Structure 1
């Protein structure tokens, strides 16, 4: 029975007559005309033409590698011919996904929304379609750190942007990571030097050790420079999608030490950098954010830095922001001093460890957010300071005075000391006020 099901999943989809498919496309309005099963049908691809504006591809661990690879290849071929008419491109991978997808940025002139989760992308600038030009402008490969799959240990792979001269003709397994190659070369050189000088005197060994350290430092410097150049090149190629206003990437698809990777995408309205098993770890990633962002989702994992105005000044500059969601499960992850400048904020959700003064900052900021519809503040760790029992004004401020507020959820983890003194509800829920808000 299982063998029959496996064969059914991997069997080739029979080819439909082109006229039949054309007729279906003309008379049936489908949200995603290129569903995952239809991508392997050549007749469908040829008949779909450029009428398809919203494209979705989902890889599944239930399908064979050949099946998933065939879908990716079909989408690449279709985008190369009809990508100019696509406005939405959604790519959903899965834990442990190793497939590589070539994304012709130069062809996606009308792309407005791009969502890529748990997959490896290869960004190509082939706007002119010139082979020689492609060789001069190599592809940039985005290879995320593969999360664990069904309880298995997470692979120890450094995320990065790898460059190759003609990666379209190479299998995904041959793509190397620029962050690891120089380091590996330096380690090999150091090991060879150690073996060569093992039988020499102390002076020779000291000189060899210094030379190996210098080589390792030089290799690390070259790796950092290569990563920065690759990140800048990626941003330059995404700029080719001039209509792009919505971008969703899992944080492990970005180099950790890249500064301002979105500086060339100032037209963005929505940016989603949330991930279930990965997070943004350095504040440099949040520099030069598009100033007109109206929605920002972020998973923060900088255990050595509080997410605050000090570490991420660009957050306070997002005065047009209407939706903000931050998840930071590291202890002392967020100091919400950037909220006071976000007067247009409608939905606020912070689920994180908090700085000691987080509650005081929240009480100072919430009265200034007169457009709030919903607020969620869930402290999952940290050691926050309690409010004094006599500070009734600040108790009342925990429920903003916004006339639009319909939901409020403020919660502290069980292992955090109570922050509100007994009897504070008399100030938070005075008679005749705040009755329609929920606690």
Structure 2
């Protein structure tokens, strides 16, 4: 932990004990004498989902970029998760993946995803954060509003009237964040919002992992537009499968036993249905609806106050089928750490002007996530009646990349690197890959 000078900021507050908030707390602990995490829920003592995070019972994938960030702040944690029953799954070698009309090439890519229940991951991270000497986690602490001075946020006031002062407040409270309303009420202006509705519905059920040999650990079925059903099986702790079925455009999966299986039977290929039809269910199916992609552009707010930053789903919430949520939140914490570190290296121990600087830096990364999440969705005229012209070319090119990845390992790995937020989407336009993509397209048209 970095030493704190007498002039260093003394306290940071993190709103929300999600994975994003907890990783942010670990990052802030390097720069502040004391970090306080405030969570409105009652936090469970055991690794289980909690009511305030209703989507936590569903499949959550920790992408490779997120794994690297968590390992940076909590060395050895991902190995502990595997030792306790989680799985580290190679996205090409251990995953059987039907994508847009064909099965992706199988090989050891070295690009892994961590598979465990969201509740287990959050609990494990929370235990690590609680062990940090300068971090306190308080549950049942609901925020009423911010306390302010001219041009700045100076802390928070809780619903019970308690006021807690801070040099920096970090909002990691999730998609339902009340920061836009609070800022407007306090005279800081209106936050610009971008939305792209998708109305995704998903249902998840846990199964006992069947005995017997399989050539995969994870099974994914992703459709080709305009089909609108996705299915995912991942292994999690307790020798269980989590099975999530996803649908949109009015075709959401049901929760009843027969309906759940019939929805799985209706996927592009029967593999998930065949895997679970005789498996032992351990839970009833849980449902969740996701209305759409959401960006809150704090980087564009001319009156963004000092003493406040907004990260994770509170700033940008993306369609969960792209599995970016936990990883983009972890990346936000890393960017926050980097911005504070650069500020300290330049001899600036204060935080005047820090919020706008951070939000602009964070927006560069959020733009990448937005591009990955929304490009495919611009196909749907019900989502975007007048999509940007560039999306037609982008979607055609991505179709060719996916088809090429059925047999071309380099193409498959390039796509995985973008999906796992290890490389920007523009890397798919590298000369070598673009040449192979165009050659594939010409060959396919000739036949």
Provide the TM-score with structure 1 as the length reference: 0.24
Bigger CA radius of gyration: 1
Provide the TM-score with structure 2 as the length reference: 0.24
More strand by share: 2
